[in-house]
Chain A
Amino acid sequence: MQAAIIVFPGSNREQDVYDALHRAAGKKPLKVWHRDGDFPKADLIVIPGGFSYGDYLRCGAMAAHSPIMREVKARAEKGTPVLGICNGFQIITEAGLLPGALLVNKTLKFHCKDVHLKVETSQSVFTRGYNAGQVIRVPVAHHDGNYFADKDTLDRIEGEGRVAFRYCTAEGRLDQDGNANGSARNIAGLFNEKKNVLGLMPHPEDATDPLLGSTDGQGFFQGLVEALA
């Protein structure tokens, strides 16, 4: 599997996801600078976490309008899997690849901590390494991860089985205690219609090494590698 990680000015978790993919695939991903004219062929496109353009206008808004995102959208439409993590989720949402918006956390604060996620489906390239209903522990690190969409959109997303992960308690309860940032219906990760685009706020890439406290993110990358090998 050849993964390409897109680097914007202000991206800062590109190395984390690079390491996780490298570990899982045994093959080095490519880092693609946003202004590189030549966007190589890739089996997986990753938009990593960080503060692209300082998040100064609105998280992800400026990167979403950069020329390289037109190419990302075109490839996503042709079926290339696209993964947006944290700021990457914000960018692909701003770019219109996913519905809704990511608002400021309900606490109005940045939070860096482990959270629990319930895997909603194993039926995707991104989640096939897990069982539906499985609870995993991975970190979050964001200020604006509070997923919002209007009721009709939420109902449609749910109806189409497009929720990938939900915030939950350690026991797997989907209540406000387990909702890390106030997201609508505890949504932590979301697919597009064809399920080849995933946006998620938590960082499975920072939970792939036993030394760092959790390996629950390994299934995510192993599943991807198996699907795209």
Chain B
Amino acid sequence: MSKVGLNETVSADTARQFGLDAEEFARACRIMGRTPNFTELGIFSVMWSEHCSYKSSKVWLKKLPTTGKRVICGPGENAGVIDIGDGEAAIFKMESHNHPSFIEPYQGAATGVGGILRDVFTMGARPIANLNALRFGSPDHPKTRHLVEGVVRGIGGYGNCVGVPTVGGECNFHPSYNGNILVNAMTVGLARADRIFYSKASGPGNPVIYVGAKTGRDGIHGATMASAEFTEDSEAKRPTVQVGDPFTEKLLIEACLELMDSDAIVAIQDMGAAGLTSSSVEMAGKGGLGIELDLDQVPTREENMTAYEIMLSESQERMLMILKPERQDLARRVFEKWELDFAVIGRVTETGRLVLKKDGKTAADMPVGPLVTEAPLYERPWTSAPAFPELAAKDVKAVEPIAALRKLIGCPDLSSKRWIWEQYDHLVMGHTVQRPGGDAAVVRIPGRNKALALSTDCTPRYVAADARRGGAQAVAESWRNLTAVGALPLAITDNMNFGNPERPEIMGQFALAIEGMREACLALDYPVVSGNVSLYNETNGSGILPTPAIGGVGLIDDAAKSATIGFKRAGETILLIGETRGHLGQSLYLREVLGREEGAPPAVDLAAEKRNGDFVRAQIRAGLVSSCHDLSDGGLLVALAEMAMAGGIGATVALPETLPAHALLFGEDQARYALTAAQPDDLLAAARQAGVAAQILGKTGGDALTIRDIGAISVAELRRINEAWLPAYMAAAS
């Protein structure tokens, strides 16, 4: 953004520099009944940015199912809330910090973690787990190594310090992210179901309190930046990236939770994107009230900050609260104990207007309602991309399976991400039952036997080839990963990362992905309770693979019964659940072994997903399953290799002759699981009864993975290949 002088007269031209088009500027003037001043224009621009207003996505997001018997609070608040029994609620959300992380990877990723933590503890939850979904460009791209290094250090630097375990996530590489990486951070918190805090203002005359860190000039117009495409000179935007202070965040968590034990708080909202502007406008807007702020009372860390700068700053670790007046002193003592700023900066009014005072003068005076309700809403034109044709197995070259397996388990997407997750404290708090590396992380609820299962999932190449199928698959895979550890999947948060919505083909990806997600959420009883939309993920007109990342939360009644992927002992029977058709279109085999990104993604049969998943979960809960793994990227042979590596035990399997070996071993058909059982007969009988396809593949044992009549590879060699790539890549000179 070029520098605009404070005294400059506001015009349509100024508005355009602020990201508002001529029609939007005219609308702002109409709402004001005059031309807005500079500060007011700034407020319009951030409130009506894509990031805050969801103006391109809202009409589509409404199609997602957001209710269910477990849902306490769906989208629209700081985070989603679900009932997990025993009077407890899980509060969670995933949010992107893509553009800042590309510009300044350490701070961008760190503040992404900080922001999503605040969304969760704002609602009264103690954060108990963090996850992150990361997409980087090609490993060969000159910036990738530096970005991986910085993002991982940033996530660790923040999460480790605040003392919330980072228990899971995913990390993929693809050239489409070369100029626009994705950093999606998810936080899950735990609260009492009868003690949820919301942001709706009430009680005219109640004091408006600012707590946390001081306000500086950092991050001004971050929300607007997040709503524009990248160009070559985007790195000049580094000053719009915020700086994180996890120590202050830790104090803020403890102070807020301590105060939440009392009845002092009427409403609370964190200052995230668009800072004081969005927090004050949203709180007043939800309450149908007004708010008056004296900006001279805002704690600042720089001198001579203008009303515009104070309102648009995205300085981190700040919260806005509305308190009961008689509890103000109590609240002040709590924040003083934690050595945090506490300032009364205004009051709730009945006027329905946002009034800002600065230096004794009125700096802005605008109606709150229309800022929110009359925000532009677009039904952008969209086109459906021609479907990628189905690719038959006979048109895909058969490579010797063991050689293909070596290639796959050592490729960037499937290689071990230990280098990443060992830099995250995934154990702090002492409740991590399943650490990173399995199908889902499992975190016990303190003081209970039950646990939450958590994962993030998306297969962007599927979404690119068929957005509807890909959207459904992302939800189904999330559901399957939670099921594979024995959890009942309860609800999701979605992080919709797409390109420029003004291009009809991108809008088409968005619309169809939502349609697929909707179908899957309905079929699997898996509602969306929170989410975030990140559009304009393009650099110089080239979009990313469409990436609707799904963060899933499931419940395990008895944490001791969760299933893990590693083989447990020799001599157990290995079974394959679900039907195998040998679908190789868009498979990793096709991409990594043959260098082709072609074909339609696998079909998603939601009835089969449900049937097979419910069956597998029931068997795990009945104690009949000793290890379980969902089949996804890389197909059956990769899954078996991962189970062998995790358990340090080999296996011998024989292939049925129904399909060509490469289709059987590497096809990515959905709704499938591999599992082991000591007593397979009971399990097979139950499968027959449930109408679930189940077949015996072989037995665990030995120190190699052997495919009869085809070949073998030792578990030690598998591990060596799987662990080698990422550390070697990161250690190599740029």
Complex alpha-carbon distance, A65 and B649, angstroms:
52
Residue in A closest to B152 when the chains form the complex, CB atoms: A109
- Please tell me if the beta carbons of A50 and B163 are within 8 angstroms of each other in the complex: yes
Residues of A within 8 A of B428 (CB): 12-13, 16, 49, 141, 206
A135 to chain B, nearest CB (A): 18
Interface centre among A19, A20, A112, A143 (most CB of B within 10 A): A112
Complex alpha-carbon distance, A171 and B596, angstroms:
45
Which of the 9-residue segments B18-26, B245-253, B490-498, B711-719 touches chain A?
Answer: B245-253
Complex alpha-carbon distance, A54 and B701, angstroms:
48
Which of the 9-residue segments A76-84, A189-197, A207-215, A221-229 touches chain B?
Answer: A207-215
A19-58: CB near B (< 8 Å → 1, else 0) gives: 1100000000000010100000000000001110111100
Interface centre among A19, A33, A53, A141 (most CB of B within 10 A): A141
- Please tell me if the beta carbons of B427 and A51 are within 8 angstroms of each other in the complex: no
Interface residues of B in 483-533 (CB under 8 A from A): none
Residues of B within 8 A of A2 (CB): none
B461 interfacial by beta-carbon distance below 8 Å: no
A203 interfacial by beta-carbon distance below 8 Å: yes
Interface residues of A in 61-94 (CB under 8 A from B): none
A26 to chain B, nearest CB (A): 16
- Please tell me if the beta carbons of B427 and A12 are within 8 angstroms of each other in the complex: no
Residue in A closest to B161 when the chains form the complex, CB atoms: A51
B397-431: CB near A (< 8 Å → 1, else 0) gives: 00000000000000000000000011111111111
B176 interfacial by beta-carbon distance below 8 Å: no
Contact partner of A213 (CB less than 8 A), chosen from B337, B435, B559, is B435
- Please tell me if the beta carbons of A9 and B338 are within 8 angstroms of each other in the complex: yes
A120 interfacial by beta-carbon distance below 8 Å: no
| Contact A112 B429, CB 8 Å, known A12-B250, A54-B161, A55-B161 | no
Complex alpha-carbon distance, A206 and B559, angstroms:
17
B134-172: CB near A (< 8 Å → 1, else 0) gives: 000000000000000000010011001111000000000
B406 to chain A, nearest CB (A): 25
- Please tell me if the beta carbons of B559 and A19 are within 8 angstroms of each other in the complex: no
Interface residues of B in 220-270 (CB under 8 A from A): 245-248, 250-251
- Please tell me if the beta carbons of B247 and A112 are within 8 angstroms of each other in the complex: no
Residue in A closest to B432 when the chains form the complex, CB atoms: A212
Residues of A within 8 A of B426 (CB): 112
B77 to chain A, nearest CB (A): 27
B213 to chain A, nearest CB (A): 12
- Please tell me if the beta carbons of B427 and A205 are within 8 angstroms of each other in the complex: no
Complex alpha-carbon distance, A205 and B428, angstroms:
10
Complex alpha-carbon distance, A162 and B427, angstroms:
29
The majority secondary structure among interface residues of chain A is: mixed
Residues of A within 8 A of B431 (CB): 212
A15 interfacial by beta-carbon distance below 8 Å: yes
Residues of A within 8 A of B251 (CB): 9-10
A139 interfacial by beta-carbon distance below 8 Å: yes
Residues of A within 8 A of B161 (CB): 10, 12, 51, 54-55
Residues of A within 8 A of B157 (CB): 110
Residues of B within 8 A of A10 (CB): 161, 247, 250-251
B339 interfacial by beta-carbon distance below 8 Å: yes
| Contact A205 B430, CB 8 Å, known A10-B247, A51-B246, A54-B245 | yes
B469 interfacial by beta-carbon distance below 8 Å: no
Residues of A within 8 A of B160 (CB): 51, 110, 112, 141, 143
- Please tell me if the beta carbons of B163 and A13 are within 8 angstroms of each other in the complex: yes
B672 interfacial by beta-carbon distance below 8 Å: no
Contact partner of B559 (CB less than 8 A), chosen from A50, A203, A211, is A211
Complex alpha-carbon distance, A99 and B122, angstroms:
43
B433 interfacial by beta-carbon distance below 8 Å: yes
B51 interfacial by beta-carbon distance below 8 Å: no
- Please tell me if the beta carbons of B430 and A141 are within 8 angstroms of each other in the complex: no
B59 interfacial by beta-carbon distance below 8 Å: no
- Please tell me if the beta carbons of B423 and A51 are within 8 angstroms of each other in the complex: no
Complex alpha-carbon distance, A102 and B428, angstroms:
20
A146 to chain B, nearest CB (A): 16
| Contact A110 B156, CB 8 Å, known A12-B428, A211-B559 | yes
| Contact A111 B162, CB 8 Å, known A141-B428, A206-B430 | no
Residue in A closest to B435 when the chains form the complex, CB atoms: A213
Complex alpha-carbon distance, A210 and B320, angstroms:
42
Residues of B within 8 A of A109 (CB): 153, 422-423
Residues of A within 8 A of B422 (CB): 109, 111-113
Residue in A closest to B424 when the chains form the complex, CB atoms: A112
> Known contacts A13-B428, A109-B423, A203-B427; can you find 14 more A-B pairs with CB under 8 A?
A9-B247, A9-B338, A10-B247, A12-B250, A56-B247, A110-B425, A139-B427, A141-B425, A141-B428, A143-B160, A209-B430, A211-B444, A212-B427, A212-B431
Chain A interfacial positions (CB closer than 8 Å to B): 9-10, 12-13, 15-16, 19-20, 33, 35, 49-51, 53-56, 109-113, 139, 141, 143, 203, 205-206, 209, 211-213
**Shortest beta-carbon contacts, A-B, top 7:** A12-B163, A54-B247, A16-B430, A51-B161, A141-B425, A112-B425, A110-B423
Chain B interfacial positions (CB closer than 8 Å to A): 153, 156-157, 160-163, 245-248, 250-251, 337-339, 421-433, 435, 444, 559-560
30 CB contacts below 8 A, A to B, read: A9-B247, A9-B250, A10-B250, A12-B250, A13-B430, A15-B429, A20-B430, A33-B337, A35-B337, A51-B163, A51-B246, A51-B247, A51-B250, A54-B246, A54-B247, A55-B247, A56-B247, A110-B423, A110-B424, A112-B160, A112-B427, A113-B422, A139-B427, A141-B160, A141-B425, A143-B160, A209-B430, A211-B433, A211-B559, A212-B431
